[in-house]
C-alpha cells in the first residue's frame, strides 16, 4: 500500500516540539511520512498553544485557511492536538466543522485510533481525557540529528495566576528515571551529542513517584551516560531552584553552564499577585550564589509586562532587576488575560499603550546589555556542536556553544554532529561569526 502523507503545523513550547516528534513517530507506524506541503497531505495535524490570546487566535485563523483545502480534498483529515485542544475540546469542532479530531495533551497515543474512528463514523471525534501516569516509552521520530529533547515530567502544580498551563497540561507527573535513562542511552547510541531535559518545572522531578530520585540526582545520572557530551534542562521554577541543584551544575563538566530561570517581574507586590512564591531579593540571591559557583553562567529569563495592577514603580523594579542580573537573553511578553485564570478577572488591567511602552523600554535595555555581554566572547575559542548548513548562508555551518549561542562559520559539511573549537570573530546581537580553530579530529 502506498504510504500516506502527514503535515504537522507546530505552535508553542519545547513540550509541543517533543509531542510533535511523538505524533510523527506514531503516525509513521500507521504508514504516514512527513511532508512539508499541507496541500498534498492526507492528514494535517495542528499542534497548538494557548499561552496567550494571540497564540490561540493563530490556530483559528490557520483553521480558517484550511477550509478551502478541505472542500477541495474532503478526504484529508484535520486533527487539532496540544493545549488549545485540551482547553477548548469540542468547542473547536463546533466552531470549525472541518476538524475531524480534537486530541488532548494526554491522549497523543490515541491519535491513530481517533482518526480511524472519525473516518469510519464520518463525524468529529473529541478526546480530552486525562491520564494519571506518565510511564509509556515514547514512540518518537526526532526531527533533529544531534541534539534532542527528552521529556521528564509533564504538567505543573504551581498556580501562577496568569497561566493557563495547569489547565492544559494537568498536574505534575514524573516519568520513571529508568525510561529517561534508556531514552538518553539510545540517543547516544544513535550519535546524539546533546540532550535537553524538558518539563514545565523540572525542579519538581520525582516528588510524585515514591522512591524516585530527585532532579539533581537524575541530572547526574543523565550526565554520566557515555557519549552524551552536553546536558541542558528547561524550565526551572526559581522557588524550587535549590542549593543542591546549583552544586550539581557546578560540579559537572557535561551540564551546560546555561540556565533559564524565569523571573516574570522584579516587583514583590506583582510577584505576590502572580503567586510566584519568591521575592526579587530571593531570586537575586540565587543568581548571585550560582555565579559565585560558576562565574560564567549564562542566564536567560521570561518577563511579563502589564500584569494587572502593575504601576510605574513596579515596572521600575523590573528594570532594576534586569540591569542587575544582566541576562544573556530574555523572552518578553505583554500580559494576556487567559480564560479561567485568576488574573483575568483582577480589576486593574493595564492598558495596551502602557504594555507596549514598557515592552519597548525593556527591549531597548536588554539590547544594550546583550551587546555588552556578547562582546566578551570576541577573540575567545569556544567548543561548538555543529548542527548543519546555516539557513541564511549556505556556504556556512551553524552551531551552538555550551552557553547556547549560535555561531556561524565556514567549514566542511563533514563536521556535522561534531564538537569543534571555533574562534569567535564577531559577536552580533543574536548570533556570532566564527572561524574554525585548529583541531585534531
Ligand atoms: N513553566 C514555565 C513557563 C511556561 S509558559 C515557567 O514556569 O516559567 C512560558 C512563559 O510564558 C512564562 O514564563 C510567562 O512569562 C509567559 N506567560 C505565561 N502566561 C502568560 C500570559 N497569560 N500572558 C503573557 N505571558 C504569559
Ligand atoms: Fe505556568 Fe507557573 Fe506552572 Fe510555569 S510554573 S507552567 S508559569 S503555572
Ligand atoms: Fe503553549 Fe501549552 Fe507549551 S500553552 S507554551 S504549548 S504547555
Identical fold, 4-127 and 147-374? no
Which ligand 2 atom is the nearest neighbour of the CA of 164? Answer: 1
| Average pLDDT for 233-251 | 97
Domain boundaries, the chain: 4-127, 147-374, 381-436
Residue nearest to atom 1 of ligand 1 (CA): 200
How far does the centroid of ligand 1 lie from the alpha carbon of residue 18, in Å? Answer: 18
135 or 394, higher pLDDT: 394
Question: What is the per-residue pLDDT across 65-101, written as a single tens digit (0 to 9) for each?
Answer: 999 999 999 999 999 999 999 999 999 999 999 999 9
How far does the centroid of ligand 2 lie from the alpha carbon of residue 170, in Å? Answer: 11
Is the entire prediction scored with pTM above 0.75?
Answer: yes
How far does the centroid of ligand 3 lie from the alpha carbon of residue 330, in Å? Answer: 18
- Does the pLDDT of residue 366 top 60, yes or no? yes
Can you give the pLDDT at residue 259?
97
Question: What is the per-residue pLDDT across 32-53, written as a single tens digit (0 to 9) for each?
Answer: 999 999 999 999 999 999 999 9
Determine the residue of 333, 337, 338, 342 to mutate for testing ligand 1's pocket, defined as the one with the most ligand atoms within 8 A of the Cβ atom. 333
Q: For residue 20, what is the enclosing H or E element?
A: helix 14-28
Q: Please, which pLDDT band fits residue 24 given cuts at 50, 70 and 90?
A: very high
Cβ neighbors of 284 (< 8 A, separation 6 or more) are 321, 324, 325
How far does the centroid of ligand 1 lie from the alpha carbon of residue 51, in Å? Answer: 7
Residues with CB under 6 A from ligand 3: 12-13, 15-16, 49-51, 82-83, 164-165, 168-169
Determine the residue of 155, 158, 170 to mutate for testing ligand 2's pocket, defined as the one with the most ligand atoms within 8 A of the Cβ atom. 158
Q: Please, which pLDDT band fits residue 379 given cuts at 50, 70 and 90?
A: very high
Report residue 402 as a C-alpha cell: 555550551
Determine the residue of 11, 51, 57 to mutate for testing ligand 1's pocket, defined as the one with the most ligand atoms within 8 A of the Cβ atom. 51
Neighbours of 324 (CB within 10 A): 12
Q: Is the CB of 338 within 6 Å of ligand 2?
A: no
Q: E strands along 11-159, which residues?
A: 32-34, 43-48, 77-81, 101-103, 125-127, 147-151, 153-154
- Does the pLDDT of residue 441 top 60, yes or no? no
Can you give the pLDDT at residue 137?
67
How far does the centroid of ligand 3 lie from the alpha carbon of residue 411, in Å? Answer: 36
- Does the pLDDT of residue 440 top 60, yes or no? no
How far does the centroid of ligand 2 lie from the alpha carbon of residue 278, in Å? Answer: 13
- Alpha helix stretches (DSSP H) within 73-214: 82-88, 90-95, 111-121, 165-169, 177-189
| Average pLDDT for 159-164 | 98
Q: How far is Cα 315 from Cα 45, in angstroms, rounded to an integer?
A: 40
Residue nearest to atom 7 of ligand 3 (CA): 165
| Average pLDDT for 124-146 | 87
Can you give the pLDDT at residue 158?
96
Determine the residue of 11, 83, 156 to mutate for testing ligand 3's pocket, defined as the one with the most ligand atoms within 8 A of the Cβ atom. 83
Ligand with minimal distance to 274 CA: 2
- Does the pLDDT of residue 160 top 80, yes or no? yes
Q: How far is Cα 206 from Cα 185, in angstroms, rounded to an integer?
A: 20
The third-level CATH classification (topology) of the domain covering 381-436 is OB fold (Dihydrolipoamide Acetyltransferase, E2P) (2.40.50)
Report residue 142 as a C-alpha cell: 526526532
| Average pLDDT for 407-417 | 96
Provide the 8-state DSSP code for 437: P
How far does the centroid of ligand 3 lie from the alpha carbon of residue 13, in Å? Answer: 5
- Does the pLDDT of residue 354 top 90, yes or no? yes
Mean pLDDT rounded to a whole number for the chain = 95
Can you give the pLDDT at residue 394?
86
How far does the centroid of ligand 3 lie from the alpha carbon of residue 52, in Å? Answer: 9
- Does the pLDDT of residue 1 top 80, yes or no? no
How far does the centroid of ligand 2 lie from the alpha carbon of residue 280, in Å? Answer: 17
Q: Please, which pLDDT band fits residue 439 given cuts at 50, 70 and 90?
A: low
- Does the pLDDT of residue 222 top 90, yes or no? yes
How much is the CA Rg of the chain, to the nearest whole Å? 22
Q: Which residues of 80-107 are buried (b: 16+ CB within 10 A; e: fewer)?
A: bbbbbbbbbbeebbeebebbbbbbbbbb
Class of domain 4-127: alpha beta
Instruction: Look at the alpha carbons of 245, 211, 195, 173 in this order and tell me if their dihedral is positive or negative.
Output: negative
The residues that bridge with 147 in the sheet, in sequence order, are 194
The residues that bridge with 127 in the sheet, in sequence order, are 103
Class of domain 147-374: alpha beta
Question: What is the per-residue pLDDT across 275-331, written as a single tens digit (0 to 9) for each?
Answer: 999 999 999 999 999 999 999 999 999 999 999 999 999 999 999 999 999 999 999
Distance between terminal CA atoms of the chain?
Answer: 45
Question: What is the per-residue pLDDT across 102-123, written as a single tens digit (0 to 9) for each?
Answer: 999 999 999 999 999 999 999 9
Amino acid at each position: 500500500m502506498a504510504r500516506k502523507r502527514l503535515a504537522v503545523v507546530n505552535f508553542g513550547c519545547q513540550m509541543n516540539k517533543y509531542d510533535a516528534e511523538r505524533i510523527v513517530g506514531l503516525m509513521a507506524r500507521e504508514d504516514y511520512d512527513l511532508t512539508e506541503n499541507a496541500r498534498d497531505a492526507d492528514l494535517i495535524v495542528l499542534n497548538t498553544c494557548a499561552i496567550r490570546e494571540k497564540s490561540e487566535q493563530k490556530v483559528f485563523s490557520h483553521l480558517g485557511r484550511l477550509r478551502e483545502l478541505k472542500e477541495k480534498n474532503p478526504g484529508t483529515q484535520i486533527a487539532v492536538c496540544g493545549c488549545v485542544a485540551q482547553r477548548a475540546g469540542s468547542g473547536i469542532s463546533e466552531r470549525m466543522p472541518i476538524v475531524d479530531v480534537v486530541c488532548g495533551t494526554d491522549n497523543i497515543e490515541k491519535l491513530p485510533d481517533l482518526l480511524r474512528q472519525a473516518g469510519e463514523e464520518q463525524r468529529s471525534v473529541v478526546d480530552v481525557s486525562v491520564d494519571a501516569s506518565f510511564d509509556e516509552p515514547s514512540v518518537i521520530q526526532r526531527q533533529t540529528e544531534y541534539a534532542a529533547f527528552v521529556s521528564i515530567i509533564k504538567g505543573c502544580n504551581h498556580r501562577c495566576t496568569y497561566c493557563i498551563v495547569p489547565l492544559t497540561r494537568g498536574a505534575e507527573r514524573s516519568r520513571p528515571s529508568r525510561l529517561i535513562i534508556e531514552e538518553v542511552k539510545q540517543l547516544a547510541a544513535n550519535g546524539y551529542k546533546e540532550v535537553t531535559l524538558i518539563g514545565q518545572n523540572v525542579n519538581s522531578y520525582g516528588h510524585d513517584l515514591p522512591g524516585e530520585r530527585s532532579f539533581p540526582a537524575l541530572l547526574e545520572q543523565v550526565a554520566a551516560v557515555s557519549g552524551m557530551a552536553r546536558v541542558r534542562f528547561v524550565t526551572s521554577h526559581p522557588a524550587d531552584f535549590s542549593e543542591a541543584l546549583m552544586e550539581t551544575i557546578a560540579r559537572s563538566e557535561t551540564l551546560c553552564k546555561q540556565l533559564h530561570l524565569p523571573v516574570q517581574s522584579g516587583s514583590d507586590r506583582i510577584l505576590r499577585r502572580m503567586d510566584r512564591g519568591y521575592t526579587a531579593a530571593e531570586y537575586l540571591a540565587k543568581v548571585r550564589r550560582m555565579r559565585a559557583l560558576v562565574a560564567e553562567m549564562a542566564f536567560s529569563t521570561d518577563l511579563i509586562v502589564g500584569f494587572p495592577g502593575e504601576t510605574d514603580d513596579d515596572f521600575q523594579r523590573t528594570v532594576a532587576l534586569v540591569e542587575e542580573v544582566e541576562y544573556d537573553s530574555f523572552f518578553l511578553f505583554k500580559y494576556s488575560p487567559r480564560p479561567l485564570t485568576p488574573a483575568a478577572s483582577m480589576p486593574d488591567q493595564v492598558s495596551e499603550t502602557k504594555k507596549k511602552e514598557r515592552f519597548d523600554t525593556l527591549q531597548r535595555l536588554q539590547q544594550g546589555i546583550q551587546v555588552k555581554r556578547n562582546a566578551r566572547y570576541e577573540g575567545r575559542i569556544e567548543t561548538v556542536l555543529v548542527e548543519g548548513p546555516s539557513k541564511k548562508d549556505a556556504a556556512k555551518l551553524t552551531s551552538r556553544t555550551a552557553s547556547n549561542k549560535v555561531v556561524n562559520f565556514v567549514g566542511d559539511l563533514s563536521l556535522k554532529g561534531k564538537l569543534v573549537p571555533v574562534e569567535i570573530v564577531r559577536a552580533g546581537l543574536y548570533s556570532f561569526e566564527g572561524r574554525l580553530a585548529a583541531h585534531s579530529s
